[in-house]
Structure 1
Amino acid sequence: MARPSPDPQVVAPRQARSRATMERIVAATEELLAGKPFEQITIAEISARSGSAPTAIYARFSDKGALLLEVHDRFKQRVTGTIDTTFGSAERRDWPIDRFVATAVGELVDLYRANRHLLRSVLLADNPVMYSRAADLTRAVSEALARRVHPVPDAVERDLDFAVRAALALVQQELLFGDQPPARFPVGAGELTTRVTALILAAVPDR
C-alpha cells in the first residue's frame, strides 16, 4: 500500500456549503470503508458516492492520507463518546464491576471491529498524529476504568493500565493481520470480549 504523504493537510471549510460538501465526502468514505480497505478505495469512487467532483475533494484534502486523517478523527470522536457513555452513565454506576467491564469491553470490541478497514489503514499509515490519537484513546479507557474502581493503590492502577494496553493490543493484532488469523485458533467477537474482560478483571482487587 502506498503511504500517504508525511504531512497531509485537511483544509477546514468556512462556508456552510463547503462544510456540507466536506461532510458528504467524509460520509462517502466511511460508507466505502465498511466494505473494503482504504487502499482499495479510489478518489473516483468517493467522488461518485459523495456527488462531489475530484477537484472538490482535493480542495479540502491534500491527498488520500489527509482524508484518512479526517475519517480517523471522526472515529476518535465516536470512541470518546462511547467511553463517556459507558464509564459516565449514572445507570451503570451501580452495576457489579464484572457486568460493567464486560459491557464496556463488548461495546469497544464491536466498535473496533466495525471499523476494521479504517483502523488497519491507520496502523499501516505510520502517521504520528494518528498514533497520538490512538494513545489518547488508550489512556482515556485506562483512566476511566481506574475512576470506576477508585480508590485503588498506584500499583493496582498500573496493573489496570497494563491490562487495558494488553487488551487493545489483542484487538490491534487482529487489525494488522487482516483476514489472516493471527494465531492457531480463530476468535470471534464473543470470545474476544470474554477473554479481554477476564484479563482486565484479573487486575481489579477485591471484586
Structure 2
Amino acid sequence: MVRDPLQLRSRETLERVAAATERLLEERPFEEITIGEILRQARCSSGSFYARFGSKDALLPFLYERYDAELRPRIEARMERTPWRELTFRDACAALVRGTLEMYLERRNLMRALALYARTHPDAFSDSFYQQRREVQELPLAVLRPFLAQVPHPSPEAALRMGFFVVACAAREKLLFGDAPHAAVTPVTLDGLTRELTHVLHSYLATPPP
C-alpha cells in the first residue's frame, strides 16, 4: 500500500516517481522496468522510494489513481474535436471506434500494466471507484444516443452498452495483449481493426435482433 504523504515534499516525491515510471512506460512494458531506472529518472533515493512503496508493484494503485483522474478530461477533450452532429450513424460509429483505439494506443504500456493489475486485484477498488468509472463510460455512449431511433433493438440503450463493450474488449485484447496467443492467432492491422470493429458496432446496432 502507498503511505499517505504528510508533507508537500513527500507528495512531490510521489509525483516524480509516478511521472518517471510513466515516461519509462512509453518505451517498454512495466515488467521490464527496474526500480533503479525509476529512481534515476525520478532523482529519488531508494530510501525515499521504499518509505512510500513496498515494491515496484505497489506503484500500480497510485498510477491507477493518476490515470483515472485524467481519464474524463482526456475523453471529453477528444470528443470535442469531433463534429458529431454532422455525422451519419455509421460515421459516428467509426469515429467512436477510432477514438477508442487511439486512447488505448496513446499509453499502451501503462494501460496494459493497469489492466493486468485490475484483473488480479479486483478487490483493490472501492464502490465509489466503480461508480466513477461507470460515469466516465457514459461519455462515449452519449455520442450515439442521438441515433437511438435507428436502433431496432427492444432495448436500444442496452444495445449501445453491449456494442461499446464489445468494441472496448476487442480493442483492449488486441492492442494491449496482442502478443498473447489468443490475440496473436488473429492478425490484423490497425486500419483493419478499425474497419472491422466499425462494421461490428454499426451492424449490431442497426440490425434487428433475431
Query: TM-score interval w.r.t. the shorter chain?
Result: 0.7 to 0.9
How far, CA to CA, are the matches of 1:169 and 1:51 in structure 2?
37
1:186 maps to 187
1:102 maps to 94
How far, CA to CA, are the matches of 1:179 and 1:71 in structure 2?
24
Give deviations 1:124-144, integer Å, cap 9, x for gaps. 330113698689647633x33
2:108 matches 1:113: no
- Residues 76 and 104 (structure 1), Cα distance of their counterparts in 2 relative to 1, 3 Å cut: farther
Deviation at 1:42, TM superposition (A): 1.3
Deviation at 1:44, TM superposition (A): 0.9
Deviation at 1:21, TM superposition (A): 1.6
2:159 matches 1:159: yes
Give deviations 1:95-133, integer Å, cap 9, x for gaps. 314444333332321221233323333333301136986
Quote the sequence identity (%). 27
Unaligned 5+ residue runs, structure 2? none
- Residues 113 and 179 (structure 1), Cα distance of their counterparts in 2 relative to 1, 3 Å cut: farther
Q: TM-score, normalised by structure 1?
A: 0.76
Cα root mean square deviation, aligned: 3.1
Letter in 2 for 1:201: H
Give deviations 1:13-65, integer Å, cap 9, x for gaps. 24322222211111110011111211121111100111001111222223222
Deviation at 1:67, TM superposition (A): 0.6
2:115 maps to 123
Give deviations 1:128-161, integer Å, cap 9, x for gaps. 13698689647633x3344333363761111111
2:173 matches 1:173: yes
Q: Does the residue aligned with 1:60 lie in a helix, a strand or coil?
A: coil
Q: How does 1:39-118 map to 2 (within 5 A)?
A: 39-87=31-79, 89=80, 92-96=83-87, 97-118=89-110
How far, CA to CA, are the matches of 2:114 and 2:31 in structure 1?
11
2:5 maps to 13
- Residues 51 and 183 (structure 1), Cα distance of their counterparts in 2 relative to 1, 3 Å cut: closer
Q: TM-score, normalised by structure 2?
A: 0.75
User: 1:36 touches 1:117 (CA, 8 Å); kept in 2?
Assistant: yes
Match of residue 140, structure 1, among 130, 136, 142:
136
Letter in 2 for 1:191: G
How far, CA to CA, are the matches of 2:30 and 2:131 in structure 1?
22
User: 1:167 touches 1:196 (CA, 8 Å); kept in 2?
Assistant: yes
User: 1:86 touches 1:92 (CA, 8 Å); kept in 2?
Assistant: no
Q: Does the residue aligned with 2:41 lie in a helix, a strand or coil?
A: helix
